[in-house]
Amino acid sequence: MTMIRKAIVTTKTETWFNDSKTNRFVFRRQWSYEGEPVVKEKMALVITINPVSTEPFISDLTLMLIENNVRKLGLDGFIAVNLFSLVGKQKKKKYQVDKQGIEVIETLVKDKTITSIIFACGSILNNQEIALEQAQSIYRLLNANQKKQVRILTTEEGKIAHPLNAHVRAKWSLSKDVSILEKMD
């Protein structure tokens, strides 16, 4: 006879947004398994382009793919932040420096549970100067130890990828080559 087992997983979701709900600064999702001791929480800080919603119950495809792959990495959760905090799809010419978003990220990088920092922005870093500048601004906030934790999501061919890229949806390839973030004019 086969034993039936029960697993209880508690998931906590937290969002930070402005009063008008036009900007989401943080989407944090953390999980724990009942009965398993947590020795030290391990979280990933994942940087993508821009949020779809401010609602904590709405999990778009990007967030689902991030969660699936962060779980595969053996971490306890993730903190999703964006190059641009304005909710919804922006036209390329509409992207603007997001000082408030950078200030929030500056606070977040002090979180001691962050053990992995993943830039998952895709080709926008190659195609949009403002996006690259935002990513570099985030990178400059990190101390020397944190910079050692930084990885860039890439395809197996080494091209910078976003979680929605068909070549990385099922399995993430994380590159230690962060030279694009280190380049300064």
What residue spans define the domains of the chain?
A: 9-182
pLDDT tens, the chain, 185 aa long: 889 988 888 999 999 999 999 999 999 999 988 877 767 889 999 999 999 888 887 778 999 999 999 999 999 999 999 999 988 866 555 788 889 999 999 999 999 999 999 999 999 999 999 999 999 999 999 999 999 999 999 999 999 999 999 999 999 999 999 999 997 64
- One-letter identity of residue 14: E
Between the CA of residue 70 and those of 63, 161, 163, what are the distances in Å? 10, 15, 11
Residue 38 has a pLDDT of 67
Report the distance separating Cα 152 and Cα 146, nearest Å: 14
**Residue linked to tokens 């969002």:** 15
Architecture of domain 9-182: 3-Layer(aba) Sandwich (3.40)
